[in-house]
Amino acid sequence: MKEVEIPRYVDAQPQIFFWELDEAIVYVSCMAAGIFIGGMFTPISMVVGWFVVKLFKRFKNGSLEGVLLHICYRAGLLGLNKRYRDAMKRDFFL
């Protein structure tokens, strides 16, 4: 039997510069909010976004992989799958 080398980081999230994808989403969301408000809030939101990402990294290190998707599901922003689209519904009867 021939040995096959398996990559070490198969399930790793994609990287955008030096952030993982979910961290970049948090930063871009903060920056977009500052751009939407306008004026001096744009550079302020960039700095605030940097600190929010640092806090999110700290939170993410102590929890499971893909925690942002779990948070979005729990808040009702995403559906679980095709069968259970409403994440806020807690009792499922088939």
Query: Where are the strands (E) in 29-82, listed by range?
Result: none
Please give the Cα distance from 94 to 88 (Å, whole number).
16
Please give the Cα distance from 89 to 73 (Å, whole number).
11
9 in any annotated domain: no
56 in any annotated domain: yes
Residue-by-residue pLDDT tens, the chain, 94 positions: 888 877 677 677 778 888 888 899 999 999 999 999 988 999 999 999 999 999 998 988 887 777 887 888 777 777 677 766 666 666 656 5
Beta-carbon neighbour count of residue 49 at 10 Å?
A: 19
Residue among 62, 63, 68, 91 nearest 20 (CA): 68
Amino acid letter at 3?
Answer: E
22 in any annotated domain: yes
90 in any annotated domain: no
How many domains does the chain fold into?
Answer: 1
Give residue 23's domain range.
15-75
8 in any annotated domain: no
pLDDT for the residue numbered 67: 83
